[in-house]
Structure 1
């Protein structure tokens, strides 16, 4: 079996590393009782669901499911790291000594796929092939995050998951105890050997399985149905919180209509046991039908009512005021806002279907942030008056207004100590009052970044073997997104790269602010460089200093080192995660 272990240029998909040595401290911080009580969902252990089916809960952000067959076992989802995967696999090995025959990924998210190699290592047996099953788009979606969107998704994920918070500030992640990634983590995604586009029926180790495409939290979501044991593994389309119809770390649009339709398909199965990828299992056909129906109805209610008010011409801010779950759904235990929220979902439906423009013509060409701040200061009677309004809001405990006013004050003067302190206090107060852990963490992490200078840097844990197997096309596409276009609007240049170890060649065609990576050696070129493909990827990922790579790893067939170094300066260097607004002084 050929395993593709993806870790883009220094573990691109990795969450959680902090540039500061000290963990941010939040003294005397409080926590909503409901959020504390929710931690019971993640009591650690291996729980038997029914004969021959077990679920691992609390070992990481997600669960993993073990299915025992006649002459082997099947695993659904594989945790977020090799360390977690190894621990769960060893616990599974205590239930049965049968060899691993297959792994099923329910979808592409880190916490479901990056421990796969550990399961192969622990439960696999020499000579017994292991089939890796996923949706046809799963590998492509993994590559999307490990390439172009790595810096911003990583930074936002750090904040949402509260990766640097101390035990006083951190309670749980809503769908799991805590994201189990740190500077020592290792990753082992194994690419699917069999893909599912819509639906397939398989028999592996004597276990009949139906695997169906069920778009919801992701477009590549699958559910697994065991008809003989009446067990449904719904992936992330059902867990014991209001669904994450939009995630504040950032995501493509999640279709609420598709998600509800996927739940309808699962309702029709008549399951007697549910083995979710987050939170605890569910038993009893009647209870499962009730929960699936309530979940489906909540999603459709938010979608239908949002579209109703969109068609009435309302803006997202106006719709949020009107769309709230009816009492019978708002009180449902499976719909408490420990992960997603109705408000965020409303905004996602609007943006996902109509785009960014909210129909208000004042937003067609809004003022730049600094220009707006300057006008707000004049409207208030000057900068001192604007700061006075901020002081008053802080004294009144009007935390949201403090955030909005400090946006303007700090845009004009990022070093204003009083405004920074007021913003930190407001962020902290909003964080400790939030029962939704994603909101809580985003507030508190932003406070720590502003108060303590906390900086979040990607973990550099990609092994050479992992980086070597990252597709070169993904690397080149990511390079194009790092071009400093404003510096090269009058530059035309062709830089050719030949990789002797793979036999491949590329030409980086720079045309007045645009980089086109061409997977061929063009005849007309300004430079020709020979370099090992791994050395090239490691240099772009920041694992090797460019000056050292140029001196040590590259042969200049046409052109020289100075010209090539000058070319590389047209691209953004690898850096820590972006600072939170409004300190990032980019208008």
Structure 2
């Protein structure tokens, strides 16, 4: 049942009074079941899944307070986001070949009005900026297509053609971005593609920018590649290793978690998904990986591509394990990859990834400031919009400061004995940094970034031995409910706290009821209501999505089957080296199931000219590169993609096997099938 805010307040008051009466009766030994049922049923039929609610009066009031916290009259970021617009594409829809949408900016509705009560006003403003889509001039010779995917596609003119720096996540989006450029500048002769770092939203759309058949031969030296007339693909050192390990090794787990981070089943708009700080969310087209033809190392500080000089700055371990900034002297332009993004970024991303080094991140930004700032007229990057002129030094300084602050203050508190959760609750920015729009918490947040630093230095253990080996969540929840006694009374108290706006606590206590008994729809509904209000208040788009996804799955069950995500994990896996393929076979293997099936084999991969001795003992698969041993039970000779086909259950063609013919089959017999459908908000 839908209520006005006045009705909500009055029923909340009634709920609080009735709950108090029921608890009094319970204390006297005579629980009033009618009162209890009245409380738990007061907003909706508690046996049925709940529906999306309006913002409560408390949420609306908390959101309104943001107009006092931040200076909404400061329009500098609004002006920067709009500067240089050549072709407005707001409301753009990009389609897949099958007619489904790869990208849809229309679904967000009218963003030009004031923030509704269901949205944090700061996030609403960031959404307005990220929704600005089209072709923009960074400076004469450098152009960006923004708002066509989570990231930007950047086009830089060379003497006779173009360089593309980052190629979006999906082929369809990149094709649309390239077409927009060609509509103004004519056919693009792409001399080189540069990947700034090893995250899929920067390399997955490569096939929308270039043809694989036109790519330079990676066996050639970089000078010969550049002279060949083919398209060179450059990336920072370690790119391929990290692109594969992040997107494949833990890819299924990350994909399911990403459904929460990006809100992939949520409706868009004021009660659903909005900006995530670095863009409007995930595109849902075709992903692929065209491997770099050359990885830039410290030994290659500069390159000239078709007459255009580029000076590189490697920044490993910052926003990605392999990342690089670049300076273009001709244009007096500094590319900051994803090290500066117009928002506080993640030191730990909610979908899961390696913790990033905040201290090094700050130092690399300062290094860029020292090396390039006095000869730079514009700073631009792979997300959001550029900064020009007098803003540049301050932009770099404040962005470095935010990561250095979180790093240093977390360690400051750690060394006083505070735990991860305590530090997350304590840490707050200095007043001046708090008001800087381009370091606001739209993607990363102070609390979860502080926890990341704690994890990096001290790990998950808080030194309290009670927490060394805690019960699994469901077991702990069942014991907690047993100690609490009546779940109805717990829900009654939780309703009272909900009426007071204590949404985090309500979510925590009702989560325990759900994990103790997933069929408890009353607990699911109340937990969903609390998560929803937390989502409406969140400044971080990623936190908003996570809260609202949790609410949606509590009400409707596991929604992973409805999630639309980018396709093409298999295409990315095809770029795996032989060593990576063997590692992934080990990851797929259920070691306990295989513990009594020892084996040994020699593997020769003809097209890579590589040999491995592979052994499985006690269920553990180990590989010895560069070796073949005479005592192996079998010898297998194949090409790399034949091994990939075997691993993924495809037809592999003729593979040569000598010795025990069962060994290869047994090697793969204990592989688990990973599905991105596991539960998150319930056991």
Residue in 2 that maps onto 1:248: 350
> Is it true that 1:444 corresponds to 2:548 in the alignment?
yes
| Partner of residue 266 from structure 1, selected from 357, 368, 372 | 368
Superposed CA RMSD in Å reads 3.5
| Partner of residue 55 from structure 1, selected from 144, 158, 164 | 144
Cα distance in 2 for residues equivalent to 1:467 and 1:300: 36
Cα distance change on mapping 1:321 and 1:432 into 2, 3 Å: closer
Q: Do the aligned residues in 1 keep the contact of 2:248 with 2:569 (CA within 8 Å)?
A: no
Secondary structure, counterpart of 2:249 in structure 1: coil
- Superposed, which structure 2 residues align to 1:240-319 within 5 Å? 240-268=342-370, 269-270=372-373, 271-284=376-389, 286-319=390-423
Residue in 2 that maps onto 1:541: 648
| Partner of residue 223 from structure 1, selected from 325, 328, 344 | 325
| Partner of residue 288 from structure 2, selected from 183, 187, 205 | 187
Secondary structure, counterpart of 1:67 in structure 2: strand
Cα distance in 2 for residues equivalent to 1:260 and 1:348: 16
Deviation, 1:180, is 1.3
Deviation, 1:260, is 0.9
Deviation, 1:40, is 3.2
Cα distance in 2 for residues equivalent to 1:110 and 1:144: 12
TM-score after normalising by structure 2: 0.72
> Is it true that 1:327 corresponds to 2:424 in the alignment?
no
Cα distance in 1 for residues equivalent to 2:644 and 2:353: 26
Deviations 1:520-559 (A, max 9, x none): 66555667778876465345436x5xxxx69x98888666
Cα distance change on mapping 1:281 and 1:578 into 2, 3 Å: same
Secondary structure, counterpart of 1:210 in structure 2: strand
| Partner of residue 31 from structure 1, selected from 116, 119, 144 | 119
Q: Which runs of 5+ in 2 are unaligned?
A: 1-99, 108-115, 217-227
Q: Do the aligned residues in 2 keep the contact of 1:320 with 1:346 (CA within 8 Å)?
A: yes
Q: Do the aligned residues in 1 keep the contact of 2:118 with 2:536 (CA within 8 Å)?
A: yes
- Superposed, which structure 2 residues align to 1:206-221 within 5 Å? 206-215=307-316, 216-221=318-323
Secondary structure, counterpart of 2:163 in structure 1: strand
Cα distance in 1 for residues equivalent to 2:410 and 2:569: 46
- Superposed, which structure 2 residues align to 1:57-96 within 5 Å? 57-93=146-182, 94-95=184-185
Q: Do the aligned residues in 2 keep the contact of 1:196 with 1:212 (CA within 8 Å)?
A: no
Q: Do the aligned residues in 1 keep the contact of 2:605 with 2:640 (CA within 8 Å)?
A: yes
Q: Which runs of 5+ in 1 are unaligned?
A: 1-15
Q: Do the aligned residues in 1 keep the contact of 2:380 with 2:386 (CA within 8 Å)?
A: yes
Cα distance in 1 for residues equivalent to 2:307 and 2:632: 59
Which piece of structure 1 moves more, 297-306 or 511-520? Answer: 511-520
Cα distance in 1 for residues equivalent to 2:250 and 2:569: 21
Deviation, 1:96, is 5.4
Count of matched residue positions in the alignment of Structure 1 and Structure 2: 550
Deviation, 1:454, is 0.7
Q: Do the aligned residues in 1 keep the contact of 2:289 with 2:571 (CA within 8 Å)?
A: no
Cα distance in 2 for residues equivalent to 1:177 and 1:458: 15
Cα distance in 2 for residues equivalent to 1:432 and 1:538: 46
> Is it true that 1:571 corresponds to 2:677 in the alignment?
no
Q: Do the aligned residues in 2 keep the contact of 1:139 with 1:192 (CA within 8 Å)?
A: no
Residue in 1 that maps onto 2:535: 431
| Partner of residue 128 from structure 2, selected from 36, 40, 64 | 40
Residue in 2 that maps onto 1:165: 266
- Superposed, which structure 2 residues align to 1:278-427 within 5 Å? 278-284=383-389, 286-381=390-485, 386=490, 389-390=493-494, 392-394=496-498, 397-427=501-531
Cα distance in 2 for residues equivalent to 1:92 and 1:248: 34
Which piece of structure 1 moves more, 297-306 or 275-284? Answer: 297-306
- Superposed, which structure 2 residues align to 1:499-514 within 5 Å? 509-514=615-620
Cα distance in 2 for residues equivalent to 1:577 and 1:306: 35
Cα distance change on mapping 1:466 and 1:123 into 2, 3 Å: closer
Higher RCO by CA contacts (8 Å cutoff, separation 6 or greater): 1
Cα distance in 1 for residues equivalent to 2:320 and 2:190: 27
Which piece of structure 1 moves more, 497-506 or 469-478? Answer: 497-506
